[in-house]
Amino acid sequence: MARDPRAMSGLLELDALTRRYGAVTALDALSFSVPAGQVVGFLGPNGAGKTTTMRAIFGLTDLDAGTVRWNGAPVRQAERRRFGYMPEERGLYPGMLVGEQLRYLGRLHGLSGPDAEAATSTWLERLGVADRSDSKVDSLSHGNQQRVQLAAALVHEPELLVLDEPLSGLDPTGIDDIGAVLVERARAGCCVLFSSHQLDLVEELCEAVTIIDHGRLVVTGSVDDLATSGPRRLVMRVEGDRDASWARRIEGVTVSEIDGGAVRLVLDESVDTQAVLRAAMGAGRVSEFTFERRRLSEVFREALG
């Protein structure tokens, strides 16, 4: 299922990144790339090495081997100043004013004073926290702190945006707002890589995903390709049927879920769908018969075994 990472042309390339902490191998020759103009979801179970990978892009962890490249050249500090980073453990000066903090970070990333000023206003406005510009960060709610943290990653209009769990702990409005910003940045030509455990949201926002486990690449590819590959998904509704016992008797068919009378079946290559339909009709009146795409959560579970 894993595609050759080199098949995707990207601005950001991670080449055989290896990081060991004593006996633990956090990154094990991890290679993948992030193309421009797309939102790429970065997935993996806890401890898979996602945060270490993201920190490695910014030189925040020393690598035992491997190279991070941007436009084909190894990344140095000058390139990193044009990247935006939202770390997993949110970090801003708690006692500093929001607007001042963003201006400061904008300047550190190379903006002029007036440009940092203008960008701060724009992003605070865009993320709905313009009225908190003169508040201290620690006086803000969790959701607003998250918005300010995103603004801190965006204020210098980065070419690469790396966000570690940007959607965790947000209410639906916050998720919509931040999600919209990520998509908008990608449309503007930015590389966007973000990690999340909320797979339905990732599926909604991302064009491509990369799944890693134990520091190794498991799957990478476009969401469309991954959804249409693999075993077929068939959703059927049979009136009066509650436990889909009729489907369990067919060889090569697995019941993956039953939701309010609708059964979701995973079909092996060899299964004849006409035979499945006949078995269903034998159990009762068939009111739904739909082929569906593989969900990202299914891709994730199947990839990790």
Partner 1 sequence: MTLSVILAIGAVVLALRLWFRRRGRLTRGPSQARVTLEPLTGDVGLVAAREVRERFRGRIFRVGTLILLAAVAAAIVIPVLSRGHRHPQPVGVVGSLSAPLRAAVVATGKSIGSTVRLVDEANVAVADDDLRAGRVALLIVDGSRLVVNRAIEPTDTSTTARLVTAVSDALGVQRAFEAAGLTVAQAVGLAHAKPVPVTSLQPAPAKGAARTTSVIGLILVFVMLTQYDTWILVGVMEEKSSRVIEVLLAAVRPVRLLAGKVLGIGLVAFAQAGLIVAFALVLAKAVGSDLLQGTAPLALVSLLVWLVLGYGFYCWVYAAAGSMAERQEQVQSLAFPLSLPILLGYVVSLTVASSGSPSTFFDVLCYLPPTAPFAMPVLVGLGRATWWEFAASAALSVVCTVVVAKLAAGIYRRAILRTGRRVGLREVVSRVVG
d(CA 166, CA 84): 13
Going by their DSSP bridges, the two strands 286-292 and 232-238 should be labelled as antiparallel
Give the number of other CB atoms < 10 A from CB of residue 172: 7
Options 25-33, 92-100, 210-218, 230-238: segment touching partner 1 (CB under 8 A): 92-100
d(CA 160, CA 147): 18
Among 68, 105, 154, 192, the residue binding partner 1 under the rule CB under 8 A is: 105
Check residue 104 for interaction with partner 1 (CB under 8 A).
yes
- Site size with partner 1, rule: CB under 8 A: 34
Check residue 90 for interaction with partner 1 (CB under 8 A).
yes
Binding mask 60-89 toward partner 1 (x if CB under 8 A, else -) reads xx---------------x--xx-x-x-x-x
Touching partner 1, residues 210-269 (CB under 8 A): none
Query: Can you list the pairs that 169-177 forms with residues at least 24 positions away whose Cβ atoms lie under 8 Å?
Result: 169/142, 169/143, 170/143, 170/146, 171/143, 174/143, 174/146, 174/147, 175/201, 177/127, 177/128, 177/147
Options 41-49, 111-119, 169-177, 246-254: segment touching partner 1 (CB under 8 A): 111-119
Q: Which residues contact 20 (CB under 8 A, 6 or more apart)?
A: 26, 64
CB of 119 to partner 1, least distance (A): 12
Check residue 134 for interaction with partner 1 (CB under 8 A).
yes
CB of 245 to partner 1, least distance (A): 51
For partner 1, the closer of residues 108 and 188 by Cβ is 108
Check residue 130 for interaction with partner 1 (CB under 8 A).
no
d(CA 215, CA 23): 13
- The closest of 119, 189, 131 to 155, measured between CA atoms, is 119
CB of 91 to partner 1, least distance (A): 3
What is the token pair recorded at 79? Answer: 């390139």
Touching partner 1, residues 137-166 (CB under 8 A): 152-153
Cβ(172)–Cβ(201) below 8 Å: no
Applying CB under 8 A, which residues contact partner 1? 55, 58-61, 77, 80-81, 83, 85, 87, 89-97, 99-100, 103-105, 107-109, 113, 116-117, 134, 152-153
